[in-house]
Amino acid sequence: MAAPIVTVCDSETSLACKLSDLVHKKAEEAISQRCVFRLGVTGGSMVKVLCEGLPKHTADWAKWKVFFCDERHVPYTDKECSYGDYKANLLTAVAIPENNLYPIQPDITVEEAAVEYEKKIKEEFAGSDLPRFDVLLLPMGADGHTCSLFPDHKLLNEKDKLVAALSDSPKPPPSRVTMTLPLVNNAACAVFVVYGASKAEMLKRVLEGNEANPLPAARIKPTNGELIWMVDAAAAKLLDRQ
């Protein structure tokens, strides 16, 4: 893996802008090579910056396919549902067809939902043993989690499943579906999006620490892809390099 690229933006607005420039550039490259752009998104604070920045560009939206790196196992109408957030805030702002947003099913058990989502991803990447997303947009929680991979959780050791269920998430809601490290680390480009002072201490640990038992976010090291951190000045304030 090449060394991670860390981009520090002055403000949340500038972060939204630079993030959308990057995603659009990656989309154009993917569409020109393969006629499709496969993106993975996450919920939480990501939704706001993404939905603010992306609509400022024109794009071949029909060729974008948007999957979820993780999802809370709640109904689509629940305020915790990331799919519901993107449906309300992204699909109303850009012309990505609704069918190109791939939700995780809430109306079956969480284990069934994980199996079904892995199948859906494998169908999308038919012919490849290990799917390779063009871009995965990743969060970093204040506890160092990413996707729904939490510190010291057994799913950090998952080697076979590409998508897994958990019912003991330390952050509510407890039931979730998440991409696992083998799938995330096979992405062509993994982009962490982190902003706000509440993430500053953890960002320093993940980027500058060298812990024996790495935090989940520190375990993202695409084996044959890029790793980019896009952060705002508030989150970066404790970093040695600024």
Ligand X SMILES: O=C1O[C@H](COP(=O)(O)O)[C@@H](O)[C@H](O)[C@H]1O
Binding site for ligand X (CB under 6 A): 42-46, 70, 72, 82, 139, 141, 148, 171
Shortest Å distance, C-beta 89 to ligand X = 14
Residue whose beta carbon is closest to ligand X: 44
Q: How far is the CB of 120 from ligand X (least distance, A)?
A: 18
Tell me whether residue 44 or residue 182 sits nearer to ligand X (CB atom).
Answer: 44
Per the CB < 8 A criterion, the answer to whether 237 and 16 are in contact is: no
Q: Minimum CB separation from ligand X for residue 41, in Å?
A: 8
> Which residue, 59 or 155, is less far from ligand X as judged by CB?
155
- CA atoms lying within 13 Å on the CB side of residue 211: 17
Would you list the DSSP string of 132-175? --SEEEE---TTS-BTTB-TT-GGGG--S-SEEEES--SSSSS-
Residue that the structure tokens 């996707």 belong to? 147
Q: CB nearer to ligand X: give 81 or 227.
A: 81
Min. distance of Cβ 33 from ligand X in angstroms?
28
Nearer to ligand X, 59 or 104 (CB): 104
Cα(178)–Cα(145) distance, rounded to whole angstroms? 12
Is residue 74 classed as helix, strand or coil in its secondary structure? Answer: coil
